[in-house]
Chain A
Amino acid sequence: QKEVEQDPGPLSVPEGAIVSLNCTYSNSAFQYFMWYRQYSRKGPELLMYTYSSGNKEDGRFTAQVDKSSKYISLFIRDSQPSDSATYLCAMKGFNKFYFGSGTKLNVKP
């Protein structure tokens, strides 16, 4: 079983839609949760991070962590074509980062 599972998509939505991206994980020791955005032929860049459970909002982006269900989500409101990218969830456990396989998102104008 992989440490982190993520639906690879691809996910195609119209501009302005609300997007929901999700990951599940198996290690209950994970405390630090991240979302990375990766544009084509670029390195991943940190989008949001959350420590332990709860919600965090940054502009159009909201990250949620439910540790009881081992489930994390990223919501994108009013999605834009510039949001088209691959989104990777990640978790940290003692010096190591564990990544999902990424969900490819396409926002159509």
Chain B
Amino acid sequence: DAGITQSPRHKVTETGTPVTLRCHQTENHRYMYWYRQDPGHGLRLIHYSYGVKDTDKGEVSDGYSVSRSKTEDFLLTLESATSSQTSVYFCAISERDRWDTGELFFGEGSRLTVL
């Protein structure tokens, strides 16, 4: 199994509070991703990182920010949580070889409930 740890695994918070989810990898993979998974929508990309301090937006980035100060850690922050951000959040990692392949490996998920 790929060494990916997400924390916290479960969190309940109130609308308007800040929330930070952490993803830690031990694989030294270059690429890291944050997805959210909701019924009927599947996995949607929030933000991704292609190196330390290098990040880019995904398709549902509004209301989220990310930071990557070390290869192994990728943080997802909800500055002011809203009920629409209630979801299961997955971190994923990949490495890109010279054929531009590279599978995506997922963490176990962080279940966030915003009341």
Contacts and interface: CB of A to CB of B under 8 A. Distances in A.
Interface of B: 31, 33, 40-45, 48, 50, 58, 90, 92, 94, 96, 99-109
Contact of B96 (A43, A95, A100): A95
B45 to A, nearest CB: 7
B101 A32 contact: yes
Contacts of A60: none
Contacts, number: 54
B51 to A, nearest CB: 11
Interface of A: 6, 8, 31-32, 34, 36, 41-46, 49, 51, 88, 90, 92, 94-97, 99-102
Which of A41, A95, A100 has the most chain B CB within a 10 Å cutoff?
A95
A46 B102 CA distance: 11
B103 A49 contact: yes
B108 A96 contact: no
